[in-house]
Amino acid sequence: MNDEMVKYVEQLKGEETGLLRYKIRRIIIKIVDSKIATIQRLNNEYYFLAIKKDNLGFMGRLFNLEEKPQFVPVDYYPIMSQNERKYKLIRRGNISNLFEDLSPLLNLIESEYPLHGVISIDDVERALVTSKGFNGLENNQSISGYFRAKNKEYSGQWAFSSTQFSASLIKDAIKKANELASITGSYEISEGKYDVVLSPLVMGNLMESLARMASGFAIISGMSMLKLGEKVGSDKFTLLDTPREDRPNSWGFDDEGTFTYNKAIIEEGMFTTPLLNNELSPIFKSKTTANAGWIYPTAWNLEVKEGDISYESLLSGNVIFINNVWYTRFQNYAEGDFSTVARDATVVYKDGKPVGIAGRVRIADNLKRILMNIVEISKERYSVRWWDAPMQGVYPYVLVKDVKLTIA
């Protein structure tokens, strides 16, 4: 297995060597006004090499194994795990068929309102050989997409992601985008604090920022509001990294040859687990969490634990439902101050009934305060990934009290 890679690593005779290979097949379908604008087939194959030899090192992306590393002095370098195991997992689901023929999928694109969106079909093969004896080969197939239905000045957006293709994935997401777009009528609100229900798409966007701040590298760089053992969310809030679930971007080993495992990053509101690789673990006096990323550890995919009440009951009072956000920008990562702009169906509910759309409001608040103010979490969850939340995640609806909203 990976014979050429094994030979290449052996020949380099590095103290720490990791050679990663990616082989990617991808199809992109872009939908505009319920029609297809473009169908794209993208193939790519490349290598990443990390090596340390004496006090010199190299990290780079190689086009092929004819290329040799060009060493430079290094202060900090990736360390491979002492793991001499072989690991092979090749999954062949029904997504393979879509690479041969897209017709079963294209026939599903039907919408009441003009529909816009992108469907991505991915088949990623990933191999790793290290100088510490690890030899792994694995693939991950996934289909994900997002749809935005346009009802004159109103719109609704929804997304999906899965390791298996089914007609219901596409149909349900289109239906949900249409349902949200069907809520019309303007309802002006003033700037202030509101109880807000965040949709799984909004959670996807915010949790990705939070997971980035959970990286050990973000913490040592001062680019994180998270401190180990500190309470950063309500008791009801638990955020997990789940590389061992059957999900897009789930992998059995990390980039340093450590076997991955599921873990709570934030457990019942407490920041328990910074995401680490081998080189960061001594700084945190802890073991690697199998989240390498050389130098910069990252989450594989995310999950927020479900609550015990229904989505409908979250909307039963006076709340504002936010369908989607984009352009999340932090003015201060160390404190967590940020703003993000709501889009699509921002629905005002009075006594549990929708009374209109608030338009493009902005959440201008502090992420820690939002997490602390989580009051309820729905039992319904959705597996989503979209353009402004590209990390795969499974998220519920979340009711947050006293969220600061501004206009314009």
Partner 1 sequence: MEDLQKVYESLKYPYVEVRKQALSSYEMYFLNGKLMGSFKFKDVGYAARYYKNGLLYFTSSNNLEDLKSNKEYNVTGWEGNFDNTEPKDGKYEVKETKPFDLMSIDEKINYFKSLYNTVKEIPSVINVSLYYSESVEEKEIIVNGANIIGRVSRLYVGINLVIKENNRTATASYELGGSGGLEVLDRMNLNEFLLDKAKAVTDVLAKGKSFGERTTNVVLSNMLAGIMAHESVGHPFEADRILGREFAQAGLSYLAYMNNSKIGSDVVNVIDDPTIPGSGGYFTIDDEGIQARPKYLIKEGYVNEYLHDRFSAGKFNVKSNGSARASSFDKEPLVRMSNTFFKPGNMSFEELLEDIKEGVYIKTYMEWNIDDLRLGQRYVGLEAYEIKNGEIGEPVLFPVLQGKTPDLLKAIDAVDNTLVFYPALCGKGDPDQAIPVWLGGPNMRLRNVKIKVMGNE
In the window 347-406, what residues touch partner 1 (CB under 8 A)? 360, 362, 364, 387-388, 390, 404, 406
d(CA 202, CA 404): 15
Closest to partner 1 by CB, 61 vs 85, is 61
To partner 1, the closest distance from the beta carbon of 385 in angstroms equals 11
Positions 119 through 138 that interact with partner 1 (CB under 8 A): 120
To partner 1, the closest distance from the beta carbon of 312 in angstroms equals 27
- Which of 3, 54, 66, 72 touches partner 1 by CB under 8 A? 72
Positions 11 through 70 that interact with partner 1 (CB under 8 A): 28, 30-33, 35-46, 57-63, 67, 70
Positions 231 through 260 that interact with partner 1 (CB under 8 A): none
Q: Does the footprint of partner 1 cover residue 110 (CB under 8 A)?
A: no
Closest to partner 1 by CB, 46 vs 261, is 46
Closest to partner 1 by CB, 246 vs 335, is 335
Closest to partner 1 by CB, 118 vs 180, is 118
b/e sequence 70-107, b meaning 16+ C-beta within 10 Å: eeeeeeebbbbbebeeebeeeeeeebeebeeebeebee
Closest to partner 1 by CB, 311 vs 338, is 338
Positions 149 through 208 that interact with partner 1 (CB under 8 A): 150, 153, 157, 191
- Please choose, out of 135-143, 182-190, 239-247, 337-345, the segment that lies near partner 1 by the rule CB under 8 A: 337-345
Closest to partner 1 by CB, 242 vs 328, is 328
Positions 275 through 334 that interact with partner 1 (CB under 8 A): 294-295, 326-334
- Please choose, out of 3-11, 72-80, 89-97, 260-268, the segment that lies near partner 1 by the rule CB under 8 A: 72-80
To partner 1, the closest distance from the beta carbon of 167 in angstroms equals 17
Q: Does the footprint of partner 1 cover residue 221 (CB under 8 A)?
A: yes
Closest to partner 1 by CB, 113 vs 397, is 113
To partner 1, the closest distance from the beta carbon of 75 in angstroms equals 4
- Which of 134, 147, 165, 321 touches partner 1 by CB under 8 A? 147
Closest to partner 1 by CB, 295 vs 355, is 295
Task: Give the CA distances from residue 156 to residues 109, 118, 178, 312, 346, in Å, rounded to whole numbers and listed in that order.
Answer: 16, 15, 6, 18, 9
Closest to partner 1 by CB, 238 vs 340, is 340
To partner 1, the closest distance from the beta carbon of 121 in angstroms equals 13
Size of the site for partner 1 (CB under 8 A): 78
